[in-house]
Structure 1
Amino acid sequence: MEKREVMENEEKTEAVKETKFTKEQILKCARYSGKRDILSVILNDGESYGHKEIQNAVEKFLKGKVD
């Protein structure tokens, strides 16, 4: 494989990883229907999130200590 082809493949992979969604889109998504209450609290208006970021935020919230 040429260096150029490798770079093009890496760029395509990064483009797929970089898909971001707004808080409003996430809250309407069926994938997160069971976590809408949590997401409405932990996500900020006007910001965009990827699926990994959403999963990490939910896990961090659920593992948080209760005072």
Structure 2
Amino acid sequence: MEVRIGINQSARELSFETDATADELSALIQAEPTGLVEIADSKGRKFLVNREAITYVELGSDTSRKVGFVN
């Protein structure tokens, strides 16, 4: 699933692919109002984001994109 996180006072967003579900990510981010949230992407990298600096979270669909010609 593709995830985009907007960060306060930053022109760029944090964008990555993860194997976690939308429900898992939503629960993880909303667990506590302050502190750091740790999110792992599908390549094994970990992101630590300050919850207070998150302006928005966009969770993509769980289905993969089709590549090539579709009839």
Quick check: TM above 0.5? no
Q: Which has the higher contact order (CA 8 A, sep 6+)?
A: 2
TM-score by length of 2: 0.27
Higher strand share: 2
**Larger Cα-atom Rg:** 1
TM-score by length of 1: 0.28
